[in-house]
Amino acid sequence: MASFSATRNRALLPSLFLLLALFTANLHISDAQIGVCYGMMGNNLPSKREVVDLYRANNIRRMRLYDPNQEALDALRNSGIELILGIPNDNLQNLAASRANADQWTQRFVFNYYPSVNIKYIAVGNEVNPVGGSSWAAQYVLPAIQNVYQSIRARGLHDQIKVSTAIDTTLIGTSFPPSQGSFRNDVRSYLDPIIGYLVYANAPLLANVYPYFAYKGNPRDISLPYALFTSPNVVVWDGSRGYQNLFDAMLDSIHAALDNTRIGFVRVVVSESGWPSDGDFGATYDNAKTYLDNLIRHVNSGTPIRPGPTETYIFAMFDENQKNPELEKHFGLFFPNKQKKYPFGFGGQRDWEIGVDGVEFNVTIPLKSDI
């Protein structure tokens, strides 16, 4: 979709269209990196159909669901939205118990919907910690992953639908400098077999990465500009690698922790990142707006250890009034009435002046992640 005017030399039009194709290809690549998590812990949220329509209206092409809500899955049919489909922690024991249980689950929530629902990943559990409050679930994560994977593989869909789990950064023992990142010794017996599976299945690790909580926990040593992507210069040097923002440093500590296990290469998908607009220290509208705006711009360039686009999901679509503590109510990109909380979005257009062999064209190109 482009409009142009030229005053001479129409023979140059093929060159212009080639340039436009290159611009459009690059913009679509950028757009493809961002998704938004759809949480439902609110008593005033729009219907599932309205939510899917809101994603589409704002060119948000990826979604994370935390449980297989069938009304949401029905609304997603033929939407083109790529999906992380979550399995809640309280379902893990059942899915770990037998392959038959996993077959029933995948039939009901995956095969009954795929491919009209574009399920890309299945997240088996969220932020399970073998030495934390969710330690009871740790023994079930890998068996549940394996049973679900075998169900997917039996249908020949294991290259299309990747089965993984989502971790948080409390499993990292050493995070500074990022290249020395390592997992805590007391979680290695839990994580290493999962990493081995991910290598075997060529599946990514899902990781929830929140510079907000790192900043909130240590504002003396972590500056706000470093956390918000607004530092004008490199803040941390790690050998020849320079870090200008905390997100890259945190994500690279996970990359390094994976690499330092020497089990094999595993890609990381950022399955949550966000900043609250109210409710606690550093949680302001302006900080949240700045962080989210810059995050969406930044993920296309990758990190010092892993250059290239980083698939990233923003938490969350809506403010959710049934979450606790208070700050958990204020992570939304949208208010429950479907109004944007922030002025940026995922659609728009920008005017470009493109010169081809001395001829200038005025071009209007819609941008899918123009913010």
How far apart, in whole angstroms, are the C-alpha atoms of residue 309 and residue 303?
9
The percent helix, strand, coil of the chain (3-state, each to 5) is 40, 20, 40
Q: Which residues pair with 118 in a beta bridge?
A: 82
| Residue 53 φ/ψ, nearest 5 degrees | -60, -35
Is residue 353 annotated as part of the catalytic site, yes or no?
no
| Residue 119 φ/ψ, nearest 5 degrees | -75, 120
Q: How far is C-alpha 78 from the chain's CA centre?
A: 21
| Residue 166 φ/ψ, nearest 5 degrees | -110, 130
Backbone region of residue 127 per phi and psi (left: phi > 0; alpha: psi in -120 to 50; beta: other values): left
Burial class (CB in 10 A: 0-12, 13-18, 19+), 227: buried
Q: Pull the structure tokens for residue 365.
A: 């190109």
Question: Of the listed 50, 71, 82, 272, which one is catalytic?
Answer: 272
- Quote the Cα angle for 66-72-77, to 5°: 120
Nearest to 54 by CA among 76, 34, 32, 73: 76
How far apart, in whole angstroms, are the C-alpha atoms of residue 145 and residue 201?
11
3-class secondary-structure state, position 361: strand
How far apart, in whole angstroms, are the C-alpha atoms of residue 278 and residue 286?
10
How far apart, in whole angstroms, are the C-alpha atoms of residue 36 and residue 348?
18
Per DSSP (E only), the strands in 249-306 are 268-273
Helical ranges in 45-183 per DSSP H: 48-57, 70-76, 92-97, 99-106, 135-154
Question: Of the listed 50, 71, 82, 127, which one is catalytic?
Answer: 127
What does DSSP assign to residue 302? B
Is residue 272 annotated as part of the catalytic site, yes or no?
yes
Residues labelled catalytic? 127, 272
